[in-house]
Amino acid sequence: MMAAILFCISIVAFSQFALYYWRATIAGIATRPVSDRIRAAVGISTPSFSSRDFRAILKVHELAPDLRGREGSFRTIRAYYSVMEKLGRVIPSARRWAEAEMATCSQYVAVLMDEHLERNLACSAQIRAM
């Protein structure tokens, strides 16, 4: 019985650590600059992305072909964004924090889209050089 309790506690602690690490990774990537090309494609003139820009960035992602297959579907970040959106609606006191998390999600996806488009441009330049 004691082993089962210790096992459950360690699973919870590991899951909490994994979530914190994942959020720190996303926050670190979201601090990178985004080119004006992405801002123009999404239709944003402000220097930072807001929580409302997430879906517009995903629409741009759907329009740009991926050279590596379907690995760039952003499933986990979409799920996290949805959870934060629902949490902000259900708990009014957590709305500001949820909005900040959703803005981080928007910035994260914009950075990855910028890198994605940069890879596509480099690949097309290599093909034109042949």
Measured between alpha carbons, how far is 82 from 78 in angstroms, rounded to an integer?
A: 6
The predicted model scores a pTM of 0.84
Which pair of structure tokens corresponds to residue 6?
């210790």
What local confidence, expressed as pLDDT, does residue 60 receive? 83
- For tokens 């996303």, the residue is 26
Question: Is 69:116 a contact under the CB 8 Å cutoff?
Answer: no
pLDDT (tens, 9 = 90+) of the chain, 130 residues, equals 899 999 999 999 999 999 999 999 999 999 999 988 888 888 888 878 888 889 988 888 888 766 555 556 788 999 999 999 999 999 999 999 999 999 999 999 999 888 888 888 888 888 888 7
Residue 57 vs residues 42, 43, 108: alpha-carbon distances, Å: 6, 9, 10
What local confidence, expressed as pLDDT, does residue 117 receive? 83
Question: Is 108:29 a contact under the CB 8 Å cutoff?
Answer: yes
Domain interval for residue 37: 2-129
What local confidence, expressed as pLDDT, does residue 77 receive? 92
Measured between alpha carbons, how far is 36 from 45 in angstroms, rounded to an integer?
A: 9
Residue 61 vs residues 12, 57, 68, 90, 109: alpha-carbon distances, Å: 34, 6, 13, 29, 9
User: Total structural domains in the chain?
Assistant: 1
What local confidence, expressed as pLDDT, does residue 68 receive? 57
